Structure 1
Amino acid sequence: MIVKNEEKVLARCLDSIADLVDEIIIVDTGSTDATKEIAARYTEQIYDFVWQDDFAAARNFSFSKASMDYIYAPDADEVLDEENRQAFLKLKAALLPEVEIVQMKYHTVTDYNTVLNAKMEYRPKLFKRLRTFTWIDPVHETVRLDPVVFDSDIVISHMPENLHSKRDFSIFTKAIAGDGGLSDKLQRMYAMELYKTGDILDLMDACPYFLRIYETESQADKRSRAAAILLRTYRRLGGERDFFKIAIKEMTDKPSSEICAELGDYYSDAGDAKEAALWYYNAAYESEAILDVHAGSDRALEGLVASYEEVLAQELSEEERDYFMEALLQAKRALEEIEE
């Protein structure tokens, strides 16, 4: 494990896994609370590592200290309940030596979710420490490069007590300043965290980077992600000209749910409930989410319901009232299905 100031959750994590493993290695990256004292109740293998704004460097250091056949790499805010502890023991007893990575289902059980777009998703969590190279194919033989991955049924409960976005944003911005950009994976993760949890200051910090991507990138998916961040930023800043400059361009292709939802929010804030309803409807039914699944599901439907209710409070013809009442009922049913 790599840890820093995890005194509130570390014992909870270690209590759930200590008897499942053969050694416990804790790498501390600068705790100023009781984290190391708590860790000492479970292991003598506690190492200090100077934080470098690089989780990969810390993780590589922690792996270098391991000596067993497989390495389990939990974070301090993860927990295995009793059912999944037993599943872990069964896996450990039956694991075939050719398996190099075991994926486990990752379930964030609090509201502090920054990047997950599903209730559960597979993540690699158990790793073979030393990999054996194997030749494959009966002719034109080659070394197998892809690892042997097993998808287990073990569910890890991710139970953070706060958001880590500010920490992540500082690493992203430092990487951009140092290297001039991010890999496609990190660019996508940065956009997802920003859209889900970024405040106006975070968005303003990121705006120049995503504007550069939008103006220079040829790949449509990268431009779409950047557009969603830019629209969210310009709407919150009240920059109508820049907002509609991006929005109109996005309308020439298939806009994402995020773009439609931002337009819905814009017109909702402007007091135009009918126009807001149109864009929330497009977000929910006529487009797909690229950063935040909620933009095309419950968030869009909640906006749609609120907009229809505002419209129904206005003076309408009988025909209009019937239309919007039926539309409101449909939107409420759709929202109830999602919540169930």
Structure 2
Amino acid sequence: MITVSLCMIVKNEEENLGKCLKSLQGIVDEMIVVDTGSEDRTVDIAKEFGAKVYDFKWTGDFSEARNYSFSLATCDYIYSADADEELDEDNRQRFIRLKKDIEELDIDIVQMYYCNQLSFRTVYNYDRELRPKLFKRVRNFRWEDPIHEQVVIDPVICNSEVEIIHRPKENHAERDLSSFRKAVAGGRRISKRLHGMYARELFMAGKDEDFILAKDFFAEAVKDSTRSVDEIKEASCVLAHVAVLQKDAEALLKYSLKDAATEMCSEMCCELGEYYYGKEDYDEAIVWFYNAAYECASIIDIKTGKEIPRLALAKCYKALGNEEQAADYEKEAAEIEKGE
């Protein structure tokens, strides 16, 4: 059977860490916990479970901390976990079977299902998705092809049936948004993936001031010819929201047209609806909220195509004195939210 090193980075996780480590007992063969500055009982709890605890001075870079934790592993495979994750008994048994099944296979990465995302308004729009979680610690390179041979560089990835339950106790948006701003200020280019996550974090948990602070970055992204269409649309949505906050009709027109150059998204329709609602032009606001709900798709926040515009329609009809229509939209929004 393969051996597994648990590698974690933590800070002030006394509410979560015990449940996480307990659910992994009997599965992992060593526990490595890298602490980035806890001021609570996190370190004590880790030691109670027999974990090897290391200190790491926080640099604002999660990759640096995770790479350090991986460097300390000694087992065949590395399991990467966060403190707010846990396995129930069914998935503990699946994990144990998995350790036996891949012993004879040359697997580099095992993906597992990450679950329970929508319940906590995280930056992910999926409630259950496969993520790489188990990594071969030492990768053996081999040659392939009988002629014009080359080294195999693509990792061998397999999907498992293990489901990891995500139970965050707090929202990390403030921390994450600060990290985004630090990366941008340091001159680092934000990847396409992080560009989308920055926009999503803003729409799901950002305050007005967070949008304002992000304005310059996304304004540059819109003008960057190397950015993809998706990134331009994401940036345009952020900038349209800023325009609504600042009551800048010219900027709102500019960025809504950039989005409309392709198929308009629900986020942009909601921004237009909010602009007209603020102008007390409720009939025009209804047009855009209706489009957000029924005619367009979301690209950043899935809720902008679901309950958000329906609740906005309800407030428009209330403003017009149509309580019956408002109640219908409120009911529909509640049913959608319950269904998720």
TM-score, structure 2 length as denominator? 0.88
**C-alpha contact (below 8 Å) 1:217/1:223 kept by paired residues:** no
For residues 75 and 188 of structure 2, the distance between their equivalents in structure 1, rounded to whole angstroms, comes to 39
Number of the residue aligned with 2:97: 90
Quote the Cα distance in structure 2 between the aligned partners of 1:4 and 1:249: 41
Q: 1:110–1:160: 8 Å Cα contact kept in structure 2?
A: no
Distance in 2, matches of 1:17 and 1:143, equals 35
Instruction: Give the structure 2 partner of residue 103 of structure 1.
Output: 111
**Structure 2 contact 289–312 (Cα < 8 Å) conserved:** yes
Alpha-carbon contact 1:104-1:151 (below 8 Å) kept: yes
SS in 1 for 2:297: coil
Q: Note the C-alpha offset of 1:331.
A: 9.3
Q: Is the 8 A contact 2:35 2:55 kept in 1?
A: yes
Q: In structure 2, give the amino acid aligned to 1:193.
A: E
Q: Match of 2:4?
A: none
Q: Does 1:68 align with 2:67?
A: no
Match of residue 137 from structure 1: 145
* Structure 2 residue 298 is matched with structure 1 residue 289: yes
Cross-structure match for 1:46: 53
Distance in 2, Cα, partners of 1:136 & 1:306: 64
Gaps of 5+ in 1: 315-323
- Over 3 Å counting, the alpha-carbon distance change for 1:33 and 1:284 in structure 2 is same
Match of 1:300 in 2: 309
Deviations 1:169-205 (A, max 9, x none): 2221111111253122222211111121110111111
| Aligned equivalents of 2:317, 2:168: Cα separation in 1 | 36
Contact 2:237–2:255 under 8 Å retained in 1: no
Give yes or no for the alignment of 1:77 onto 2:76.
Answer: no
Q: Is the 8 A contact 2:110 2:134 kept in 1?
A: yes
Measured in 1, the distance between the counterparts of 2:82 and 2:333 equals 36
Q: Does 1:237 align with 2:246?
A: yes
Indicate the residue corresponding to 2:256 in structure 1: 247
Deviation at 1:260, TM superposition (A): 0.8
The answer on 1:206 being equivalent to 2:205 is no
In structure 2, the partner of 1:182 is: 190
Q: Gapped runs of 5+ residues in structure 2?
A: 1-7
| Range with bigger deviation, 296-305 or 195-204 | 296-305
Residue in 2 that maps onto 1:7: 14
The 3-state SS of whatever aligns with 2:148 is coil
Match of 1:191 among 187, 193, 199: 199
Are the counterparts in 2 of residues 110 and 159 from structure 1 also a CA contact under 8 Å? no
Is the Cα–Cα contact under 8 Å of residues 281 and 300 in structure 1 kept in the other structure?
yes
Task: Quote the offset at 1:17 in angstroms.
Answer: 0.8
1:257 correspondence with 2:256: no
The 5 Å alignment of 1:260-339 reads 260-308=269-317, 310-311=319-320, 313=322, 336=335, 339=338
1:148 and 1:44 map into 2 onto residues whose CA distance is 30
Secondary structure, aligned partner of 1:37? helix
User: Residues 76 and 287 from structure 1, CA distance in 2 versus in 1: closer, same or farther, beyond 3 angstroms?
Assistant: same
1:303 deviates by 2.5
2:227 is equivalent to residue 215 of structure 1: no
Specify the alignment match of 2:5 in structure 1.
none
Shift of 1:33: 1.2
Match for residue 3 of structure 2? none
Contact residue 103 and residue 149 of structure 1 kept, 8 A: yes
- Cα separation, partners in 2 of 1:331 and 1:142, compared to 1, 3 Å: farther
The one of 17, 22, 25 aligned to 1:18: 25
Q: Secondary structure at the match of 2:34?
A: strand
Q: CA deviation at 1:12?
A: 1.2
Q: CA deviation at 1:237?
A: 3.0
Q: Aligned pair 1:153/2:161, yes or no? A: yes
Q: Which amino acid aligns with 1:146?
A: D
**Hey, what's the Cα distance between the residues in 1 that align with 2:182 and 2:337?**
38
User: Is the partner of 1:84 in helix, strand or coil?
Assistant: helix
Alpha-carbon distance in structure 2 between the residues aligned to 1:210 and 1:40: 44
SS at match of 1:46: strand
RMSD: 2.5
Secondary structure of the 1:24 match is: strand
Paired residue secondary structure (1:68)? coil
The residue type paired with residue 226 of structure 1 is A
How many residues align structurally?
330
Identity of aligned residues (%): 42
Distance 1:144 1:79, change over 3 A: same
Distance 1:237 1:156 in 2: 42
What is the distance in 1 between the residues matched to 2:51 and 2:314?
Answer: 57
